[in-house]
Amino acid sequence: MSLRFALLALLTSRPMTGYDVSKHFSQSVAHVWHAPDSQIYPELNRMERDGLLESAVVPWGKKGTKKEYAVTEAGVQAFREWMDSPIEIRRQREPAYLKAAYLEWAEPGAAHAELEQFRDYWTEHLAMLEATRATLVDRSHPTLARRLEHYDASQWDRIVRYKIFAYDGLIDQARAAVAWAERGLLLVDELEGSTVES
Amino acid sequence: MSLRFALLALLTSRPMTGYDVSKHFSQSVAHVWHAPDSQIYPELNRMERDGLLESAVVPWGKKGTKKEYAVTEAGVQAFREWMDSPIEIRRQREPAYLKAAYLEWAEPGAAHAELEQFRDYWTEHLAMLEATRATLVDRSHPTLARRLEHYDASQWDRIVRYKIFAYDGLIDQARAAVAWAERGLLLVDELEGSTVES
DNA sequence: ACAAACTACCTATCTATATAGTGAGTGGCA
DNA sequence: TGCCACTCACTATATAGATAGGTAGTTTGT
Chain B: closest CA distance from residue A56 (Å): 26
Residue nearest to nucleotide C12 (CA to C1'): A38
Residue B40 has pLDDT above 90, yes or no: yes
State the pLDDT confidence band at B198, using cuts at 50, 70 and 90. Answer: very low
The minimal CB distance from B99 to the residues A30, A83, A113 is found for A83
pLDDT tens digits for A116-167? 999 999 999 999 999 999 999 999 998 999 999 999 999 999 999 999 999 9
Which pLDDT value is given to residue B197? 46
**Is B121 near chain A, with CB under 8 Å?**
yes
Please give the Cα distance from B42 to A101 (Å, whole number): 24
Full-model pTM: 0.92
The predicted model gives B137-150 an average pLDDT of 93
A110/B84 touch (CB, cutoff 8 Å), yes or no? yes
**Is B90 near chain A, with CB under 8 Å?**
yes
Which pLDDT value is given to residue A197? 47
**Among chain A residues, CA nearest to B184:** A165
What is each CA distance from B119 to A89, B96, B98, B180, B185, in whole angstroms?
11, 11, 16, 8, 9
* Paired strand residues for B54: B70
Closest CA to B165 of A101, A107, A182: A101
Q: Which nucleotides of D are covered by protein (CB under 7 A)?
A: 7-12, 15-21, 25-27
A162/B187 touch (CB, cutoff 8 Å), yes or no? yes
Which pLDDT value is given to residue B89? 83
b/e string for B162-195 if b means 16 or more Cβ within 10 A? Answer: bbbbbbbbbbbbbbbbbebbeebbebbeebbeee
Chain B: closest CA distance from residue A58 (Å): 29
A105/B31 touch (CB, cutoff 8 Å), yes or no? no
pLDDT > 90 in chain A, percent: 71
Q: Which of residues 48-87 of B touch strand D (CB under 7 A)?
A: 60, 64-67
Which pLDDT value is given to residue B93? 86
Which pLDDT value is given to residue B2? 84
Are A71 and A52 contacting, i.e. CB atoms less than 8 angstroms apart? Answer: yes
3-state secondary structure chain A: CHHHHHHHHHHCCCCEEHHHHHHHHHHCHHHCECCCHHHHHHHHHHHHHCCCEEEEEEEECCCEEEEEEEECHHHHHHHHHHHHCCCCCCCCECHHHHHHHCHHHCCHHHHHHHHHHHHHHHHHHHHHHHHHHHHHHCCCCHHHHHHHCCCCHHHHHHHHHHHHHHHHHHHHHHHHHHHHHHHHHHHHHHHHHHHHHC
Which pLDDT value is given to residue A2? 84
**Is B153 near chain A, with CB under 8 Å?**
no
Please give the Cα distance from A33 to A27 (Å, whole number): 11
A118/B168 touch (CB, cutoff 8 Å), yes or no? no
Residue A11 has pLDDT above 60, yes or no: yes
Going A147 to A153 to A154 to A158, the CA torsion angle's sign is positive
Residue nearest to nucleotide D20 (CA to C1'): A38
Residue B33 backbone phi and psi in degrees, to 5? -150, 95
